[in-house]
C-alpha cells in the first residue's frame, strides 16, 4: 500500500508518521506542500504540527496551499485521506470535513494519553478492528470540535462520528472530555468515509516499550482492509 505524507512549513509529526507507516509496511513518500501533484498513492496523510505557525486560524493557510487541490481531487475520487491533529484542522478548513476545531475550553495546551471509543466500523479505517476502545495520545491547543446543530445531526444520522473521547472502560461524559468538544468528538469522517480527521496521534503509540501499541493496531488494520 502506497502512502504520501504532505509536509507543510511548521509540520512536526511528519517524520513520526513516516516512521510509523514504514514500520507496518506502507511504501511511504514525503511530499512538499509547494508541489503541484502527489505521486500515485493509496493513502494521503496530513500530519500534525503547526502549519504556517497556526496563523489566522489553525490549518487555514495550509488549506489554500498549492498541493491541496490534488488532495481534494484525490479525496473526491474516493482516495483515503487521513488528517491527524493539525491535519484534521486543515481538512475542516478545506471543507472536506464539516465543522471546525476551536481553542480548548479551558485555554490550556493538552499533552496526554487519552482513550477513544471507535464509533463506526463500516469504513476502511476501523473495519474488523479487534478493540472498541483505543489508548492514543493528544497534544493540542485547538481540539475543541464544534459544528452547527444541523451539521451535528447530519454527522450522527450518517454515522460520520469516527471516534469520541472516553474513559478506559468506554464511558463517555464530561469528565472524559479533555477539550470541550461537542459530543466528545475526537474524529469524524466525510460522507463517503474515505476522509478521516482526528485529533489523537496513532503514530505516537506504535512501540510497546515507549508508549503502547493501539496505534499499531490502527495502522495494521488499514493495511489489512486494503488487502
Partner 1 sequence: MKIKVIVTLKNGVLDPQGKAILQTLNGMNFRNVEDVRQGKYFEIEVKEKDEKKAKSLVDDMCKKLLANLVIEDYKIV
Residues that bind partner 1 (CB under 8 A): 56-57, 60, 64, 93, 98-100, 102-107, 146-148, 151, 180
**Minimum Å distance from CB 103 to partner 1?**
6
Annotated catalytic residue, options 13, 58, 137, 203: 203
What's the half-sphere exposure (Cβ side, CA atoms, 13 Å) at 168? 1
Give the sheet arrangement for strand 185-189, strand by strand. Answer: 27-32, 2-7, 43-46, 80-84, 195-198, 185-189, 161-166, 110-118, 133-140
13 is catalytic: no
Burial of 174 (0-12, 13-18, 19+ CB in 10 A): exposed
What are the respective helix, strand and coil percentages of the chain, to the nearest 5?
30, 30, 45
**Minimum Å distance from CB 181 to partner 1?**
11
137 is catalytic: no
Indicate the residue among 170 and 180 with the shorter CB distance to partner 1: 180
Indicate the residue among 148 and 173 with the shorter CB distance to partner 1: 148
**Minimum Å distance from CB 158 to partner 1?**
18
197 forms beta bridges with 83, 188
Annotated catalytic residue, options 85, 93, 140, 166: 85
117 forms beta bridges with 133, 164
Indicate the residue among 107 and 210 with the shorter CB distance to partner 1: 107
Please give the grid coordinates belonging to residue 164: 469520541
**Minimum Å distance from CB 114 to partner 1?**
20
85 is catalytic: yes
Indicate the residue among 45 and 90 with the shorter CB distance to partner 1: 90
Q: Which residues are catalytic?
A: 85, 201, 203
Amino acid at each position: 500500500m502506497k502512502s504520501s505524507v504532505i509536509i507543510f512549513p511548521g509540520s512536526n509529526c511528519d517524520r513520526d508518521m513516516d516512521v510509523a507507516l514504514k514500520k507496518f509496511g506502507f511504501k511511504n513518500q514525503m511530499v512538499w506542500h509547494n508541489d503541484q501533484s502527489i505521486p500515485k498513492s493509496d493513502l494521503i496523510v496530513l500530519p500534525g504540527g503547526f502549519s504556517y505557525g497556526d496563523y489566522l486560524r489553525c490549518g487555514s493557510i495550509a488549506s489554500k496551499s498549492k498541493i491541496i487541490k490534488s488532495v481534494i481531487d484525490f479525496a473526491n475520487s474516493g482516495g483515503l485521506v487521513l488528517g491527524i491533529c493539525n491535519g484534521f484542522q486543515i481538512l475542516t478548513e478545506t471543507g472536506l470535513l464539516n465543522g471546525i476545531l476551536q481553542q480548548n475550553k479551558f485555554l490550556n495546551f493538552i499533552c496526554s494519553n487519552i482513550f477513544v471509543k471507535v464509533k463506526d466500523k463500516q469504513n476502511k479505517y476501523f473495519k474488523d478492528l479487534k478493540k472498541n476502545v483505543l489508548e492514543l495520545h493528544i497534544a493540542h491547543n485547538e481540539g475543541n470540535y464544534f459544528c452547527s446543530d444541523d451539521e451535528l445531526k447530519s454527522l450522527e444520522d450518517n454515522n460520520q462520528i469516527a471516534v469520541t473521547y472516553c474513559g478506559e472502560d468506554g464511558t463517555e461524559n464530561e469528565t472524559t472530555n479533555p477539550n470541550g468538544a461537542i459530543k466528545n468528538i475526537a474524529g469524524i469522517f466525510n460522507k463517503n468515509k474515505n476522509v478521516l480527521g482526528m485529533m489523537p496521534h496513532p503514530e505516537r503509540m506504535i512501540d510497546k516499550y515507549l508508549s503502547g501499541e493501539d496505534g499499531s493496531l490502527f495502522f495494521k488494520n488499514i493495511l489489512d482492509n486494503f488487502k
